[in-house]
Amino acid sequence: MEIDRLYVGDAIEVMRGLPQRSIDLVCADPPYNLGKNYGNNIDKKERRQYEDFTRDWLQSVARVLKDNGTIYVFMGVRFISRLYVILEEMGLSFNGWITWHYTQGMGRTKGFSPRHEDILYFVKGKYPTFNLDDIRIPQKYYRERNNMKGANPGDVWQFSHVHYCSQEREDHPTQKPEGVLERMIRASSNPGDVVLDPFVGSGTTCKVARSLGRHWIGIDTNPDYISISEKRIAHSTTLFDSVDPRANRTPVDSKSRS
């Protein structure tokens, strides 16, 4: 298996060529079946077809994931509950339902404006990696009972979208914030581990994985996105394009503060 490389092709086909139990962490952001135009592929399948596609690629993931490996899957609200069931059917164990909350986005006039997407967090086995100390955020209060190394960030993550005007924005319609991937990769892998993104798009996962000293593999059917990813990865840096605003807060309170 070649690591630290990108593959142009279908995720299921490419994963067939990866050895069983060779991947420590999968960060997957599949098409949500909402009709997005990804250049050479349109994200619109019959519901049944989309379910079959989801089952097939997750079966491949379950095969290549190491025991005690982890998978995070991004998904829109319309399919998330079905995705949950399919992940369980693959023999994976639930470990969290993360809500990515963004403060800006499309406005609606006939309903509430959408302000979140969800991420399902499943593991294979009983002893998955979880490096809590690497992802802590400042405590809100200085109190003796609080851990002064910081707090667990919880399961609602606040990161802004990569705005169309921002310098980091690539020519891809659903680029994810690097800060979100940073948290997943720091928490659920160690330096030297292998991180796989079967739907790599503009290369966010691989860029962050490389910056954090992990090995990486990315797959996408669109060769233009693979070229964007290659350029991005070559310029990887640890200055990620987004941070959780809570990470910058100043802890307050406590008479016992020294």
Ligand X SMILES: C[S@@+](CC[C@H](N)C(=O)[O-])C[C@H]1O[C@@H](n2cnc3c(N)ncnc32)[C@H](O)[C@@H]1O
* Site of interaction with ligand X (CB under 6 A): 10-11, 29, 31, 38, 41, 172, 174-176, 199, 201-202, 204, 219-222, 225
Phi, psi of 84 (to 5 degrees): -55, -45
CB 150 within 8 A of CB 176: no
29 is written with which tokens? 């952001």
Q: Which is nearer to ligand X, 158 or 202 (CB)?
A: 202
What torsion do the CA atoms of 12, 16, 19, 25 make, to the nearest 10 degrees? 0
The owner of tokens 């309903």 is: 111
- Residue 213 region by backbone torsions, left for phi larger than 0, else alpha for psi between -120 and 50, else beta: left
Query: Are the CB atoms for 135 and 154 separated by under 8 Å?
Result: no
C-beta nearest to ligand X: residue: 201
What dihedral do alpha carbons 190, 4, 31, 88 form, nearest 10°? -40
Smallest separation (angstroms) from ligand X to the CB of 234: 16
Question: Residue 81 Cβ, how far from ligand X at the closest point, in Å?
Answer: 19
**Cα angle for residues 173, 174, 175 (degrees, 5° grid):** 105
Nearer to ligand X, 33 or 139 (CB): 33
CB 22, min distance to ligand X, A: 18
Tokens 């891809």 belong to which residue?
A: 172
Nearer to ligand X, 100 or 225 (CB): 225
CB 236 → ligand X: shortest distance, Å? 14
Q: How far is the CB of 181 from ligand X (least distance, A)?
A: 8
Q: Which is nearer to ligand X, 118 or 220 (CB)?
A: 220
**Nearest residue (CB) to ligand X, 6 versus 87:** 6
Strand partners, 6: 218
Pairing of strands 156-158, 194-197: unpaired
Round to whole Å and give the CA distance between 117 and 99. 6
Q: How far is the CB of 229 from ligand X (least distance, A)?
A: 8
Judged by beta carbon, residue 9 or residue 138, the one nearer ligand X is 9
Nearby residues of 44 by Cβ (< 8 Å), 6 or more positions away: 33, 34, 35
Q: Which residue's CB is nearer to ligand X, number 116 or number 140?
A: 116
Smallest gap from residue 123 Cβ to ligand X (A) = 21
